Structure 1
Amino acid sequence: LERYRHRMELVFLPPCSPDLNPIERVWWLMRKRVTHNRWVKTMGERVDEFERWCETISPLQIKTACNLIENIY
């Protein structure tokens, strides 16, 4: 890090701050689609739902979910 300090800026985030962490927004989307208001008999069914979600979410949806974070940096 010392060697490249002139080329980067470290941004320290406070602990437990999901509103500042882009991946947390993606996980929120996943939970909303895969787990909310859905009953499954087995964990395997839940995993299948998650895999279907992974196959259908677009890069644009991920970028949109993280867009607010980009403006902070």
Structure 2
Amino acid sequence: MPNGSPTGLYLSPVKVREVIAELERDGWQLVRTRGSHRQFRHTSKPGTVTVAGKLGVDVPAGTLGSIWKQAGLKKT
């Protein structure tokens, strides 16, 4: 698995574009954008996941964990 995936190792920083790609692979769809904030919804999972930042920017570790938790992808 690539770095930054919920089942992979976090050995290097993860880019916003990689987080978005992982969400889309899991079935999350972009529903709206305002500035650099993108909101995703899933057809069968509850809630909305917000990913902020430019595509080439690293996602802070705490923010990354929060995104995976919101998406139901967090490691247990």
TM-score (norm 1): 0.24
Which of the two has greater helix per residue?
A: 1
Which gives a bigger RCO, structure 1 or 2 (Cα 8 Å, sep 6+)?
A: 1
Which of the two has greater strand per residue?
A: 2
